[in-house]
Structure 1
Amino acid sequence: MFKVTTPQSSEDWQAYYSLRWQVLRAPWGEPRGSEQDDLEQDAEHRFIKNNDGEVLGVARLHFNNHQQAQVRYMAVAEGNRNQHIGSRLLHELEKIAWTQDADELVLFARERALDFYKRHGYELKEKAHLAYDDVQHWKMVKQKPSEPGWFRHPNWTQVLQNTWRESIPISDAMGIKVESYTDWQFTTRADLDANLNLHNTMFAGSIYSLATLTGWGATYLALKEAGLEGNIVLADANIKYLKPLNNDPRGSVELAGCKGKLADLEDSGKASYHVPVNVYDGDVLVAEFEGHFIVKK
């Protein structure tokens, strides 16, 4: 799983700026150093590395004023595109901006990146500057959402939340909420206070329920993506409890890890879907769940 982090070591920073230069400046003959500006010290920097330490993507956020933050220098290595690296970086920068009470995000996108930012909720405002005599930039803006979270299809996740509340009342009592649905991940949260045991940690049954509903939700959204409908039931599951959960219950599904042929639903009226779910206490992994869901017409 790719993880968004902040450059720390001198080697990190060198690799961070090197990729920024290689993608955004070198193709137009610009010298090293042109990939930096006067705001580097005051900005938020994020990057993604693979297991070998190679930097795959970089991005930066700075504040123009108290209300407006700006995304700049988004770059993904040529051989690592179409892996949601840019989406993960953008998601992280948005969380920083909204957490620090920005009302809007602004960026200046190159022509080839317009569709990417539109998919992530940015509105095209106007033609901006022309760089290097041939690279047109466009001003794009995204307003802070009224509800926390980041949703690929807000209508779907709202229906999912309503379905849980109306059809599975215990989910509401447990405070289980959809947190986000992106191109690569589906996440949920639960209210710890509603799920405490006598040790003041999360009850094991509640962890299991959170994982089950998270897997059920991921299956529901996969059906929506495929244009299918069906009744979802949990047929089999295994869970490993790794640590007590003390603070911040979260369920997470990496969508690339889900397996199954939902198209079988059209042919045979039945399909199976395997969903791995991780349960976290904040960022600490506390349980691993493997759910086998059956979908029937």
Structure 2
Amino acid sequence: MYRVITPESEEDFEKYFAFRWEMLRKPWNYPLGSEKDEYEQVSHHRMIVDADKNVLAIGRLHFNTSEEAQIRHIAVAADQQGRGLGKMIVSALEGVARHEGVERIVTNSRELSMPFFKSCGYEVAGESSNELGTLSRSLMIKKLTELNAIMIHPKWCQALQKIWHDGIPISEQMGIKLFQYSGRTLETRAPIMKNINPHNTMFAGSIYSHAVLTGWGMIHLHLKEKGLEGDIVLAKGNIDYTMPIKTRPRAVCNIESMTERFELLKKGKRCPVKLSVDIFDDEIPAGLFSGEYWVIPVTSETMPE
């Protein structure tokens, strides 16, 4: 299972900077130390790790002005590229910028990485100064709005939102909304004020429902990706609450956490799906939901939950 985390300990940062040098400086024969600059102490750092805490991807964001942030040092391990980890990092960093009220994000991109940033909604704005004196780069900009979070298949996402509100009324009462879908990651959000308990934190039942629905939505969208149909029901769910949610509830499901047997569905049989959903209070981990679902062919009788 992959998770986006904020490096905090000395060990975390050692792994983080070693990975940055290995991926972004060593290939150009730059020495250790060249991977750091004067912005490190005032920047926001994110990295993706696996279950064994191996670093798979990294990225950094710092603020140029109160209106502008800059993304730098995006890197993904060679054997993990093409799995959406780069977009997960960019999305996490954009989330920090959005929370701080930034109007735009810039990045200096080499030609090789320009298609990636374009797929994330960035546009070329002109030439940039050469990094380390030799690497030619282009300035790319993304103006932040409520509607331009990384989201592919927006029509599918709009249809899913309608399915939730029409078929599961509690989702609308809770204010659960899709925030972004990258094909590999689904993030949903809910307002704290619609789900608050007498202790001014989020109801445990609301957190559970939020997580269950996010997992359900990830399966629904993944079925669409595969050109498959089926009724999705929850068979079993467990959630570990690690801290109360007080500000901004977020639920994130990554495709790497999902195990499924869609070949059974293609044969007209019930398909089991297991996945996990990370729960956050803003950027702080607040819980982990593990769910087992069934996808039932639309021509079969629905199995009771």
Shorter-chain TM-score range = 0.7 to 0.9
1:3 aligns with 2:26: no
Q: Deviations along 1:134-193, whole A, 9 cap, x unmatched? A: 744222111102248542333322221122223333321232222332343223334555
Q: TM-score, normalised by structure 2?
A: 0.77
Q: CA deviation at 1:221?
A: 0.6
CA–CA distance in structure 2, aligned partners of residues 121 and 186 of structure 1: 17
**Distance of aligned partners of 1:225 and 1:41 in 2 relative to their CA distance in 1, 3 Å threshold:** same
SS of residue in 2 equivalent to 1:41: helix
Q: What amino acid maps onto 2:9 in structure 1? A: Q
Asked if the contact 2:232/2:293 (under 8 Å) is kept, the reply is no
Runs of 4+ more than 6 Å apart: 196-201
Asked if the contact 1:16/1:47 (under 8 Å) is kept, the reply is yes
Q: TM-score, normalised by structure 1?
A: 0.79
| Percentage of identical aligned residues | 33
Give the structure 2 partner of residue 290 of structure 1: 292
Give the structure 1 partner of residue 44 of structure 2: 44
Asked if the contact 1:161/1:177 (under 8 Å) is kept, the reply is yes
Task: Give the number of the structure whose alpha-carbon radius of gyration is greater.
Answer: 1
Q: CA deviation at 1:57?
A: 3.1
| Deviates most, 277-286 or 219-228 | 277-286
CA–CA distance in structure 2, aligned partners of residues 48 and 241 of structure 1: 22
SS of residue in 1 equivalent to 2:203: coil
Q: What amino acid maps onto 1:215 in structure 2? A: G
Give the structure 2 partner of residue 96 of structure 1: 96
Asked if the contact 1:84/1:183 (under 8 Å) is kept, the reply is yes
Asked if the contact 1:251/1:277 (under 8 Å) is kept, the reply is no
Aligned length: 292
Structure 1, unaligned runs of 5 or more? none
Structure 2, unaligned runs of 5 or more? 300-305
**Distance of aligned partners of 1:83 and 1:195 in 2 relative to their CA distance in 1, 3 Å threshold:** same
Q: Deviations along 1:116-145, whole A, 9 cap, x unmatched? A: 212222123334455689744222111102
Asked if the contact 1:260/1:271 (under 8 Å) is kept, the reply is no
Q: CA deviation at 1:105?
A: 0.7
**Distance of aligned partners of 1:178 and 1:92 in 2 relative to their CA distance in 1, 3 Å threshold:** same
RMSD: 3.5
Give the structure 2 partner of residue 138 of structure 1: 138
CA–CA distance in structure 1, aligned partners of residues 236 and 204 of structure 2: 17
Q: CA deviation at 1:249?
A: 5.0
- What are the equivalent positions in structure 2 for 1:1-297 lying under 5 Å apart? 1-9=2-10, 11-50=11-50, 54-129=54-129, 135-147=135-147, 150-191=150-191, 194=194, 202=203, 204=205, 206=206, 209-228=209-228, 230-234=229-233, 236-243=234-241, 247=246, 250-262=250-262, 268=267, 272-278=271-277, 280=279, 282=281, 283-285=285-287, 287-296=289-298
SS of residue in 1 equivalent to 2:3: coil
**Distance of aligned partners of 1:207 and 1:15 in 2 relative to their CA distance in 1, 3 Å threshold:** closer
